[in-house]
Amino acid sequence: MGSLVFFDIETTGLDFKRDRIVEVGLVIKGRRGRPRERSFLINPKVPIKKSAYRVHGISFDDVKGEPTFAEIKDELLSLIKDGVLVGFNILDFDLPFLNFELYRLGHPPVLNPVVDIKRVAKALYSDAPNSLARLATFMGVRVKDNHRALADARITKKIFDVMKREHPEIFSNTEDLENLSLSAFPSKVIDMLRIAREYGWVSVKYYSRRYGLLEWKVRPITVLKSYVIGDTGEGRFKYFNVMRIIRVSPPEYGWL
């Protein structure tokens, strides 16, 4: 198993297309040695919504003198490298936020292998709770100072370690863990993600109710169960309803 990057973010709100990241926390566990930790406070250059502040307690005064995402991007990506990203609800929240921040800067998305502890817990335990704090209690992990990025990354690692002790046969292989994390996703979405990892771009044959059959070259920004948001290289992102995706293939073998 390669490096595991336990990853968590705090944001200005819940809309990854419009809201911004205000904090990133990472706990990086390699094959040897003690885990390394790093956290970033980030100036989002936009207001922090009251609903978000009530969750994480980070005000704009706390971040107004901090670097922007563009200024910490290179260091953050150097810490992630080709590690396996592990987070709670990371597929639906943390990764879309990260990739939209990168998209705004014209940078390719992070397409690392991903383990979503929320989805893995649901697969392993029929009564697994839906929140990180409640899952921690469920797994016998002490919760302290949660809802800050580094604290939540630490909690995620502790939950992961408990699950690994209880299910070593599954946790010995990150590919199995990613398959569990993606088990509810349509096969076309999984194919798109894995093609993008190899080629950077994906050819998509798509049915539009208005225009009929279309062909696109897409770099996935956000991959979800019901839709994909992709960069088409035209300076704007595009939604793809998964039900209307006819076929995905490597770009050099596509129709473009």
Q: Can you tell me the mean pLDDT for 237-249?
A: 96
Q: CA angle, corner 167, sides to 166 and 169, nearest 5?
A: 145
**Segments making up each domain of the chain, as ranges:** 1-183, 187-253
- Helix ranges (H only) for 182-225 are 187-199
Strands 4-11 and 237-241: unpaired
160-180 pLDDT, tens digit per residue, is: 999 999 999 999 999 999 999
Q: Please give the pLDDT value at position 147.
A: 79
Query: pTM (2 decimals)?
Result: 0.94
177-221 pLDDT, tens digit per residue, is: 999 999 999 999 999 999 999 999 999 999 999 999 999 999 999
Looking at the predicted structure, is the pLDDT value of residue 1 above 60? no
Q: CA angle, corner 91, sides to 105 and 11, nearest 5?
A: 55
Domain 187-253 CATH assignment equals 2.20.70: no
The SS3 assignment for 140 reads coil
Domain 1-183, what architecture? 2-Layer Sandwich (3.30)
Q: Please give the pLDDT value at position 253.
A: 60
Task: Identify the helix (H) or strand (E) that includes residue 214.
Answer: strand 212-223
> What is the average pLDDT value for the chain, to the nearest integer?
94
Please tell me if the domain spanning 1-183 has the same topology as the one spanning 187-253: no
Query: Are 52 and 59 in contact, with CB atoms under 8 Å apart?
Result: no
Query: Are 248 and 192 in contact, with CB atoms under 8 Å apart?
Result: yes
Strands 84-87 and 245-249: unpaired
Cα distance between residue 82 and residue 165, in whole Å: 25
Q: Please give the pLDDT value at position 255.
A: 44
Kindly state the percentage of the chain with pLDDT values over 70: 98
